[in-house]
Amino acid sequence: MEGDKAEETKSFSGIPEAVFVDNVDEFMNLPENSGGVEKVLRQLDEQHGKYKFMEYTLNTKRRRLRQQIPDLARSLDVIEKLRSQKEDMDTQFLLSDQVFVKANIKPTKTVCLWLGANVMLEYSLEDAEKLLTTNMATAKKNLACVEHDLDFLRDQWTTTEVNMARVYNWDVKRRQAAKGAC
């Protein structure tokens, strides 16, 4: 049961987990922190910057997926409409931004899907529906993973910010104590 809970809090994208610095004295006495407070703060700041970059990347991916899901849903709606169509239908379609063209669509058993990278393939309505349904499920799953990773990432950079503040405050207290001892 505990293993399942730990699994839920991990990242799907391999985002490194920030370790909370509970005891700053012990943390600063670790061999990797022998370079002093400035070095530790620089490392924490670098880690924070990496988290911010990962957040930007994940937000871009989330934005793309949020645009893709409605497009897939509209394509599935069109396939359903084509499947139920028994006679010619007049419609308009988007040619480019704010440019629509009138068209007469005859009943059909096939549809051409734009796959990207200058590739368009003709599918039967059933095959196109299967492909789009699979792509929709994958996009929703990927969006859920990205949302989870963004939540995880926010926790990591917040932890890193808290660690930076704790190390900085520890250094200030240490310097004040050294100043007071003189």
26-49 pLDDT, tens digit each: 999 888 888 889 999 999 999 999
Residue 65 in domain: yes
| Residue 92 within any structural domain of the chain | no
CATH of the domain at 59: 1.10.287.370
The Cα 99–Cα 145 span in angstroms is 36
- The domain in which residue 135 lies consists of 36-84+113-174
> What pLDDT does residue 93 have?
84
- Residue 139 located in a structural domain: yes
Does 41 reside within a domain? yes
Q: How confident is the model over 109-130, as pLDDT tens digits?
A: 999 998 888 999 999 999 999 9
Q: Is 15 inside any structural domain? A: no
Whether 100 is in a domain gets the answer: no
Residue 93 lies in a domain: no
What pTM did the predictor assign? Answer: 0.79
| Number of independent structural domains in the chain | 1
136 Cβ contact partners less than 8 Å away, ≥ 6 residues apart = 69, 72, 73, 76
Q: Which residue has the tokens 């084509």?
A: 82
Within the chain, which residues score under 50 in pLDDT? 1-7
